[in-house]
A = this chain, B = another copy of it.
Amino acid sequence: MIIPTKMKAAILTKPNHLEIQEVKTPRPGPAEVLIRVEACAVCSSDVSLMAKPWLGQPPYGKFIPGHEYAGNVVALGRTVDEFQVGDRVAVEAHLGCLRCINCRRGNYTACLNFGNLKKGHRANGFTTNGGFAQYVVNHINTVHPIPDSIDFNEASLMTNLGCVLYGFETVGGYLVGDHVAVIGPGPLGLISVQVAKALAAGRVYLIGTRESRLKVGEEVGADRVINVNEEDPVKVIMKETRGRGADLVIETSGGLESPQMAIQMTKSMGKILMLGLPGEPVQVDFEDVIQKNKSIYTVRGEGRANCARGVSLWASGKVNLKPLVTHSFPLRKISEAFQTFVERRGGAIKVTVNPARESS
């Protein structure tokens, strides 16, 4: 396979400004592969880090964002026999240093050497170059083969699926018959609904404000949607569970009132999983949490190789992320892609760009 020495890439040249430039195509080192990027999705963390640099982010003019992508393996680094050229793959973002105490115990998304490239940590699209480019290098730990039944746009959402699965693993995993409430009908919420059903949860509630997204929630399996503008979700869930509450509540909205809402609708001995990032401190009633033995779990990212589990779930047809990818653009229209995502134009949920199809 002939790989051009130059490629097109979206460079963050200043705050909130991406510029398509021609740069050197990277080469894979030991335990790495080179991927030609077919699709890279826009994530709200991209929006955030473009406005104000995150920890360990490369300087303006040197940094290609994008951490949610999929494509084809086009070259193998030394020692790699886990993949072959031509493999269709999707990626996860975090490669731990593999030497701190968290990494040693398998918790590489909570690496204590985050951003320390010298010690081996990498987070493509955060601290190293990502997927808003025609080619990108990934350590094999962050690469997963995908079935032919999943197109690249859908596949680019792998970390979303991996993150939700990691959340379910973290709360204990076995939830046959348990009632689940999901707050926030965005990508993580809509995937949470599907995973809950795929793991044989009892009744699954989805709570939000946008009717269009709640409708998608129904399509992907929510047993009951609650529009906060029309009903009080705590009352509804308490009533329908005979005053007990949900066994598991998953907060994905990041809303400032959502954590307290989550607590209130959780059963005695129940669990809360927090995935959505509230931008600022929030008020919660710990008295309720403690008096009823509730516990609060969080995950950051797609840890413990849950993306590999996600591939299996995808292949089985038990989850379907296609309805989440509402818009796709060529790489050169990346700014339009971001605007579409941020402004939720045309009911946008997830928006991707497709660099490989760009004429180079």
Contacts and interface: CB of A to CB of B under 8 A. Distances in A.
Contacts of A173: 172-174
Q: How large is the interface on A (under 10, 10 to 19, 20 to 34, 35 or more residues)?
A: 35 or more
Contact of A298 (B102, B244, B289, B309): B289
A281 B283 contact: yes
A178 to B, nearest CB: 8
Nearest to A198: B200
A285 B289 contact: no
Nearest to A279: B287
Given A118-B79, A274-B286, A296-B295, A104 B281 contact: no
Interface stretch (A6-14, A21-29, A311-319, A342-350): A311-319
B298 A297 contact: no
Interface of A: 31, 79, 82, 98-99, 101-102, 104-110, 112, 118-120, 140-141, 165, 168-170, 172-174, 176-178, 198-200, 202, 244, 259-260, 268-269, 274-287, 289-300, 303-306, 308-313, 316, 318
A255 B334 CA distance: 49
Nearest to A272: B296
Given A169-B174, A281-B285, A282-B286, 16 more contacts: A79-B118, A101-B308, A107-B293, A110-B293, A170-B295, A172-B174, A173-B173, A173-B174, A176-B199, A200-B318, A277-B286, A282-B283, A283-B283, A293-B300, A294-B298, A295-B298
Contacts of A309: 176-178
A281 to B, nearest CB: 5
Contacts of A118: 79
A3 B110 CA distance: 38
Q: This chain: how many copies in the complex?
A: 4
Contacts of A308: 101, 177
Nearest to A201: B312
Nearest to A55: B291
B293 A299 contact: yes
26 contacts: A31-B99, A31-B120, A79-B118, A82-B99, A101-B308, A106-B107, A112-B268, A168-B174, A170-B295, A174-B174, A174-B199, A177-B311, A177-B312, A178-B309, A198-B200, A200-B312, A274-B289, A276-B290, A277-B286, A277-B291, A278-B287, A279-B287, A289-B298, A292-B300, A293-B298, A293-B300
A277 B285 CA distance: 10
A82 B98 CA distance: 13
Contacts of A279: 287
A246 B271 CA distance: 23
A277 B305 contact: no
Contacts of A101: 305, 308
Contacts of A119: 31, 79
A259 to B, nearest CB: 6
Contacts of A199: 174, 176, 199-200
